[in-house]
Amino acid sequence: MSTPFYVSPEQLMKDRADFARKGIARGRSVVAIQYADGILFVSENPSQALHKVSEIYDRIAFAAVGRYNEFENLRIAGVRLADMRGYAYDRRDVTGRGLANAYAQTLGTIFSSGGEKPYEVEIFVAEVGDTPADDQLYRLTYDGQVADEHGFAVMGGAADTVATHLKEHYVEGSTLEDALHVAVAALGHTDAGDRVIPVDDLEVAILDRTRTQPRKFVRLRETRLVEILGDRGPEQPDVPQGDDTAGATPPSAPVTDDPGDPTDQVSGGVPPLENPMSGEPTEHHVPPPTAPPTAPPTAPPTDPPVAPPPAPQPPIPDPSQPPAPGTPPGDPGNPLP
Amino acid sequence: MSDPRLPAAYLMPGSSSFSDFLAVQAPDLLPSRRAVPSGNAGDLAPHGTTIVAATFPGGVVMAGDRRATMGNIIAQRDIEKVFPADEYSVVGIAGTAGLAVEMVRLFQTELEHYEKIEGTTLSMDGKANRLAALIRANLGMAMQGLSVVPLFAGYDLNTDQGRIFSYDVTGGRYEETSFHSVGSGSLFARGSLKKVYREDLSAEGCVTAVLQALYDAADDDSATGGPDLTRRIFPVVHVITADGGYRVADAEVADIADRMLAARMQRPDGPAAALI
């Protein structure tokens, strides 16, 4: 008789949320700030070709953090949706709200469907209006939640640290120059100290309502950035870890070897219990220990001689019994937002 | 848009061409996909007429008259037939006005779509070829009298010069040197430009030359509109240089047209070219 494997829906969703959040936190932050003449996007992005901030339509821009292939898919879908709507109706009928809704529905459906991996992305959809009061800034999370942001917003990387710095220094209705200074300083701010981000590592774009052309999206190139930012002291490029374009860095492995742990990546002096290629037990390197070194000394000697040490079994939640006191079902360190 | 979730086709990596995407997702929106009953439908809809383009050192100028005709009737006096295709190119259309305007919208979206998805603009030849493909798809309609013949011009940032492309109804694409004209008055406009055009014209001189050509076309072709002095309606003129394109302000065009007309009061056939 086998017990059916049960995972509570809460736990399932939490696992998926944790998975997505971890992917998002690996990258670097993107900041969106409203200034007097529009909306400014700043990100630290050493790649000149793979953009995190892009144009969707006349007054609408898109910024994303997380997995590049996933948000690139969403970006292209947004461009197609906007162009299709603008062509079928009129350019004025393409709105940021409609686009944010389509993204929210898409992300939400993918997140809650069991068959698909949740998208590890977080998105800004911004639309610049005729006046600062008409500007809209939507923030969409991996699970399809939409938040209407005002003033400034940060996502990805150490978003909390950057947001705290911005909260202290953000001034409403500032000029582009001031807003850019604040945003770049916030991105370089960490708890350990402040860093001057090199100009060629910055990706900066604006939605500028004062532009006469219908398309309000402009990228600020390096020469313009140098002009605005001026001399900020010696530049310090970011340490290469956490580069989201290069994929995830492996989590730090435990330094001690535990033959009972199948996810253990350190072999130490103990041979693996099985050949990782063939899956067969290894026997010709070292004879299997009759008494494994990690085996409890109280193991009865009548056990089968080649039995591996008992692996620590994760507690399977039993739906019929309340969880033991002191062991909350979720990870309290990562509450849902 | 009844399903709020983005359709799977939108999320699929694939073509960066908007018209290709449209052909799969919403073919009824393509101007060339309409089934027209056999017979000649050419007299049912207004026709746009003469478009003129000419290059000058550092750029290119395109101008179009403002008349649309339906048989012997003037359907509209202030129609616009020259449109910016993107920042560095402009397209003027002669032929069935309704289809032409829709095709221009598709072409504009096509260029912008590519630019947004790929992060870079198409080359000048790439744009000209895309327009050729759109015209070619319209061949069936053209054979029923609903033809669209564009003139395409732009500033090529790679070779640093203005370039002009003409087309036929089968999608044939031909690069022109110095100047070209399409539409019912094109013969007269081209003849006029032959005499007035010089390669060293300034931007303003080039605008004057194309206005002279449109005047000569209107002089001899009933479907081309001349400057409308009582209503102050003048041709639409676009200039494209390395800094991008812009439409010449109406007041500026009116000023040049007034000076041209003052000279024609003395000499109705326009400026005379040297004999040898």
Taking 90 as the threshold, does the pLDDT of residue A46 lie above it? no
What number is the average pLDDT over the span A105-110?
Answer: 92
Chain B CB contacts of A81 under 8 Å are 6, 10
Q: Which residue has the higher pLDDT, B2 or B91?
A: B91
**Sole residue written with tokens 């940032």:** B157
Taking 90 as the threshold, does the pLDDT of residue A247 lie above it? no
Q: Grade residue B122 by pLDDT with cuts at 50, 70 and 90.
A: very high
Tell me how far apart the alpha carbons of residues A80 and B26 are, in angstroms, rounded to a whole number: 12
What number is the average pLDDT over the span B230-256?
Answer: 95
Please tell me the CATH code under which domain B43-264 is placed.
3.60.20.10
Question: Of the ranges A19-23, B17-21, B146-150, which one carries the lowest mean pLDDT score?
Answer: A19-23
Q: With H, G, I as helix, E, B as strand and everything else as coil, classify residue A280.
A: coil
Write out the two tokens for A160: 């909390």
The reply to whether residue B6 touches residue A103, judged by beta carbons under 8 angstroms, is yes
Search chain A and give the residue with CA nearest B245.
A213
Tell me how far apart the alpha carbons of residues A13 and A319 are, in angstroms, rounded to a whole number: 17
- What is the C-alpha end-to-end distance of chain B, expressed in Å? 67
Q: What is the pLDDT of residues A128-166, one digit of tens each?
A: 999 999 999 999 999 999 999 999 999 988 889 999 999
Tell me how far apart the alpha carbons of residues B102 and B79 are, in angstroms, rounded to a whole number: 14
Nearest to A294 by CA among A279, A312, A282: A312
What number is the average pLDDT over the span A68-83?
Answer: 93
pLDDT of residue A272: 52
pLDDT of residue B37: 76
- ipTM passes above 0.85: yes
Q: Grade residue B153 by pLDDT with cuts at 50, 70 and 90.
A: very high
Contact A107, A144 (CB under 8 A): yes
- pTM, 2 dp: 0.80
Closest approach of chain A CAs to the CA of B249, in angstroms? 14
- Cα angle at A32 between A28 and A34, to 5 degrees? 160
The domain segmentation of chain B, as residue ranges, is 43-264
- The answer to whether residue B29 neighbours chain A at the CB level (below 8 Å) is yes
Write out the two tokens for A223: 């020469």
pLDDT of residue A251: 43
What number is the average pLDDT over the span B162-190?
Answer: 95
Taking 50 as the threshold, does the pLDDT of residue B130 lie above it? yes
Output DSSP code: residue A312.
P
The DSSP annotation for A102-121 comes to HHHHHHHHHHH-TTSPPP-E
Helix (H) or strand (E) holding B76: strand B73-76
Chain B CB contacts of A217 under 8 Å are none
Interface test with B, best of A54, A59, A87, A109 (most B CBs within 10 A): A87
Write out the two tokens for B2: 């009844």
For chains A and B, CB pairs below 8 A equal 58
pLDDT of residue A33: 95
Taking 90 as the threshold, does the pLDDT of residue B262 lie above it? yes
The reply to whether residue B119 touches residue A81, judged by beta carbons under 8 angstroms, is no
Q: Grade residue A297 by pLDDT with cuts at 50, 70 and 90.
A: very low
Taking 80 as the threshold, does the pLDDT of residue A301 lie above it? no
Q: Grade residue A279 by pLDDT with cuts at 50, 70 and 90.
A: low
- The answer to whether residue A52 neighbours chain B at the CB level (below 8 Å) is no
Q: Which residue has the higher pLDDT, A257 or A8?
A: A8
Interface test with A, best of B1, B2, B10 (most A CBs within 10 A): B10
Selected residues 74-103 of chain B with any CB under 8 Å from a CB in chain A: 87
- The answer to whether residue B249 neighbours chain A at the CB level (below 8 Å) is no
- C-alpha A13 chain-centroid distance: 17
Q: With H, G, I as helix, E, B as strand and everything else as coil, classify residue A250.
A: coil
The reply to whether residue A73 touches residue B4, judged by beta carbons under 8 angstroms, is no
